[in-house]
Structure 1
Amino acid sequence: MVMDNRKGCIKCGSTDADKKDVAMTGTGLSKMFDVQNNQFTVVFCKHCGYSEFYNKNSSTGSNVFDFFFG
């Protein structure tokens, strides 16, 4: 097995990233009444736009950039 120790975006290798908090509706009544109860942190590559969503409700306070960059 070959280990890949590269850091950066998995699509383009760039290390220029940012994050943004977003909220989304679910299904059923929450969608009907536009209740945005699903909260996520989005980490995205500023070079190519590749994005990963992380559930804020299950976050343990870890740095999401560590997950994005491996």
Structure 2
Amino acid sequence: MNHQGQGCIKCGSRDAEQKEVAMTGTGLSKMFDIQHNQFIVVYCKNCGYSEFYNKKSSRASNILDLFFG
């Protein structure tokens, strides 16, 4: 992939991957809000720095661009 950003803000590496994750809240939100707690985590494979993006408000196509700035 060709990303125009600067690289990881911590180490400058361009080697990043993304993965979909689900997080639970506390109390009743554990049972009822699972679909609202879907995130995409983008992480630098060099230093491990990670950022989370709400899946519903982010387009998968531009998440790596957001991570690299």
Q: Pick the TM interval, shorter chain.
A: 0.7 to 0.9
Q: Secondary structure of the equivalent of 1:63?
A: helix
Give CA-to-partner distance per residue, 1:27-52, whole Å, 9 cap, x none.
21233x5x633000000000000000
Unaligned runs of 5+ in 2: none
TM-score by length of structure 1 reads 0.77
Unaligned runs of 5+ in 1: 1-5
Q: Quick one: percent identity of the two aligned structures? A: 70
Count of residues paired in the alignment: 64
> Structure 1 residues 61 and 42 mapped into 2: Cα distance closer, same or farther (>3 Å)?
closer
Residue equivalent to 2:55: 56
Higher RCO structure, 1 or 2 (CA under 8 Å, sep 6+): 2
Q: Which has the larger radius of gyration?
A: 1
Residue equivalent to 1:65: 64
TM-score by length of structure 2 reads 0.78
Cα RMSD of the aligned pairs, angstroms, is 2.1
Q: Which consecutive aligned stretches of 4+ in structure 1 deviate over 4 angstroms post-superposition?
A: none
Q: What is the alpha-carbon distance in structure 2 between the residues aligned to residue 60 and residue 20 of structure 1?
A: 13
Q: What is the alpha-carbon distance in structure 1 between the residues aligned to residue 28 and residue 38 of structure 2?
A: 17
Return the offset for 1:62.
4.6
Give the structure with the larger helix fraction: 2
